[in-house]
C-alpha cells in the first residue's frame, strides 16, 4: 500500500500536533498508510519512524509540542544525505512527504523533491516569518501566551511604578512584538523593521510621566535585543539612567513555544494538513501550503522561499501614535 510520510522540523510550535493529526487522518481517509519520522530529517536519514494510525493521533489536537519530536538537521544540507533519505523513503513505499516547519525545513523538502520524492511544506513556526503565507501555525498561541505574561508583569510594574522591558521571541521578524505590543498597549514597540532610538523612547516616557503616567511597558523583539550588547537588560538600564524610573527586563523565552494551541492554530493546522495530503494524493509535490486572505492556498517551494512579507507599518504607526 502507498504511504504518506510526515515530520516536524526546526523549532516546535503549538498546533504542530493538530497538523500531524490532520495529515494522518486525511491520508488514512484517502486510503494511505502513514509514517511519522522522528526528530525531523534525522529520523528520515536514520530510519527512525513510527507508523501512525487514526488512533495514534487521538487526543493530541489540543497539545503543544510535537509527538514526532523535532530537531534541526545540518547533515540534511548535504546532497548525499538527501539521496540517502530518498532511498529510505523508497524502501517505505512513500508516495510523498509532508514537512511541518519553517523556511529551513522547506529547503530540505525542496532537495528531497529534486531527488524524486514529492514533498509539501506546511508553515509551522511561532514567528510568522514565512514570506508566502499570512499566517504560520503556532503564531496565535505564542502571541496570546506572551500577551498574558505581559498582563501579569504589568500588575507588578504598576505596584512599583516601574518600567518593564519585555523581550518576546522573533529572531528575524518582529511580528510577535508588534501584535503583542499593540495588544498590551505598550509605550514603545522595538522591532528590527522600525528604527530603534532610545532617546525617543525616553522622550515619550517623560512626556507621559508629566501627564500622570506612572508605569511603562516596552516590548522588544528578540532580534533587536540580540544585536545589543547586554540585550534587553541594557535597554532597561539605559531607561533607568535617563529617566530615573526603576526598570526591569524580562525575557519571556520558550514559554511562548509551549502550551495548548488556540482555536485559530488548531483550525489552520487542520485545514493545512488536509490540503497538503490532498496535493500529494493528486500527484503534486514541491509546494508550500499557505494562507492568504483567510484562504488556504499553495506555492512552488522555490517561489515561496523567495517571497517576503511586508511588515505592517500601519499597525506600528497606530500603536505608536496612541501610546500617549
The residues binding ligand F6P (CB under 6 A) are 11, 125-127, 169-171, 222, 257
Q: Coil, strand or helix: which one is 158?
A: helix
Tell me the closest approach of the beta carbon of residue 104 to ligand F6P, in angstroms: 9
**Cα 262 from Cα 15, distance rounded (Å):** 8
Tell me the closest approach of the beta carbon of residue 142 to ligand F6P, in angstroms: 8
**Residue 228 DSSP one-character state:** S
The full DSSP string for 122-156 is EEB-TT---TT-S--BTHHHHHHHHHHHHHHHHHH
Q: Active site residue: 12, 103, 127, 320, which one? A: 127
Active site residue 127: yes
Alpha carbon of 126 to those of 42, 65, 259, 318: distances in Å? 22, 12, 12, 23
**Pick from 20, 127, 121, 98: which is nearest to 65 by CA?**
20
For cell 486572505, name the residue: 293
Residues 6+ apart with CB under 8 A from 104: 9, 10, 72
Q: Which is nearer to ligand F6P, 54 or 74 (CB)?
A: 74
Phi, psi of 50, rounded to the nearest 5 degrees: -135, 145
Residues 6+ apart with CB under 8 A from 116: 86
Tell me the closest approach of the beta carbon of residue 126 to ligand F6P, in angstroms: 5
Q: Which is nearer to ligand F6P, 15 or 118 (CB)?
A: 15
Tell me the closest approach of the beta carbon of residue 171 to ligand F6P, in angstroms: 3
Tell me the closest approach of the beta carbon of residue 225 to ligand F6P, in angstroms: 10
Q: Which is nearer to ligand F6P, 123 or 170 (CB)?
A: 170
Active site residues: 127
Amino acid at each position: 500500500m502507498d504511504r504518506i510520510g510526515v515530520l516536524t522540523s526546526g523549532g516546535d510550535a503549538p498546533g504542530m500536533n493538530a497538523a500531524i493529526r490532520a495529515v494522518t487522518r486525511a491520508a488514512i481517509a484517502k486510503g494511505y498508510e502513514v509514517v511519522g519520522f522522528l526528530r525531523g530529517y534525522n529520523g528520515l536519514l536514520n530510519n527512525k519512524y513510527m507508523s501512525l494510525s487514526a488512533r495514534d493521533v487521538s487526543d493530541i489536537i489540543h497539545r503543544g509540542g510535537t509527538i514526532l519530536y523535532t530537531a534541526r538537521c545540518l547533515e540534511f544540507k548535504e546532497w548525499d544525505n538527501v539521496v540517502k533519505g530518498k532511498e529510505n523513503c523508497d524502501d517505505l513505499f512513500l508516495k510523498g512527504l509532508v514537512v511541518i516547519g519553517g523556511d529551513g525545513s522547506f529547503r530540505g523538502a525542496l532537495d528531497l523533491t529534486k531527488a524524486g520524492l514529492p514533498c509539501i511544506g506546511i508553515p509551522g513556526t511561532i514567528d510568522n516569518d514565512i514570506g508566502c503565507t499570512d499566517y504560520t501555525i503556532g503564531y496565535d498561541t505564542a502571541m496570546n501566551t506572551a500577551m498574558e505574561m505581559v498582563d501579569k508583569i504589568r500588575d507588578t510594574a504598576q505596584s512599583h511604578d516601574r518600567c518593564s522591558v519585555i523581550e518576546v521571541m522573533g529572531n528575524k521578524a518582529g511580528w510577535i512584538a508588534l501584535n503583542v505590543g499593540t495588544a498590551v498597549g505598550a509605550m514603545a514597540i522595538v522591532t528590527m523593521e522600525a528604527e530603534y532610538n532610545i532617546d525617543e523612547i525616553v522622550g515619550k516616557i517623560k512626556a507621559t510621566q508629566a501627564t500622570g503616567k506612572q508605569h511603562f511597558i516596552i516590548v522588544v523583539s528578540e532580534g533587536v535585543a540580540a544585536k545589543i550588547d547586554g540585550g534587553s537588560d541594557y535597554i532597561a538600564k539605559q531607561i533607568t539612567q535617563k529617566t530615573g524610573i526603576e526598570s526591569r527586563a524580562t525575557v519571556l523565552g520558550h514559554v511562548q513555544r509551549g502550551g495548548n494551541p488556540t482555536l485559530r492554530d488548531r483550525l489552520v493546522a487542520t485545514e493545512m494538513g488536509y490540503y497538503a495530503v490532498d496535493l500529494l494524493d493528486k500527484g503534486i509535490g514541491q509546494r508550500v501550503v499557505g494562507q492568504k486572505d483567510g484562504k488556504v492556498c499553495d506555492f512552488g517551494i522555490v517561489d515561496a522561499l523567495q517571497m517576503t512579507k511586508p511588515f505592517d507599518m500601519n499597525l506600528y504607526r497606530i500603536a505608536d501614535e496612541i501610546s500617549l
